[in-house]
């Protein structure tokens, strides 16, 4: 399950969070220049395998 969660786009998402810190899905999608829905789906998949988590303000 972990291997299937680690796509190139999701790795880029995690790298961006590491670089910029917690971001909303909207801010993350703008930073990545990707569609909001796709970023939301990818963030959810990474959360399912405990690679990222939401903060109290609903940031990743």
Which residue ranges make up each domain of the chain? 2-48
Give the dihedral of Cα atoms 25, 28, 29, 31; nearest 10 deg. 160
pLDDT tens, residue by residue, 5-57: 899 999 999 999 999 999 999 999 999 999 999 999 999 999 999 999 988 77
**3 falls in which pLDDT band (50, 70, 90)?**
confident
How many other β-carbons are positioned within 10 Å of the β-carbon of residue 14?
A: 16
Whole-number average pLDDT of the chain: 91
Indicate the helix (H) or strand (E) that contains 26. helix 25-32
Q: Cβ-count burial of 23 within 10 angstroms (0-12 exposed, 13-18 middle, 19+ buried)? A: buried
């Amino acid at each position: 399950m972990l291997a299937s969660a680690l796509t190139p786009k999701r790795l880029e998402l995690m790298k961006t969070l590491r670089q910029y810190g917690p971001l909303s899905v909207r801010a993350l999608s703008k930073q990545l220049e990707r569609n909001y829905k796709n970023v939301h789906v990818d963030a959810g998949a990474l959360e399912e395998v405990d690679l990222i988590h939401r903060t109290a303000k609903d940031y990743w």
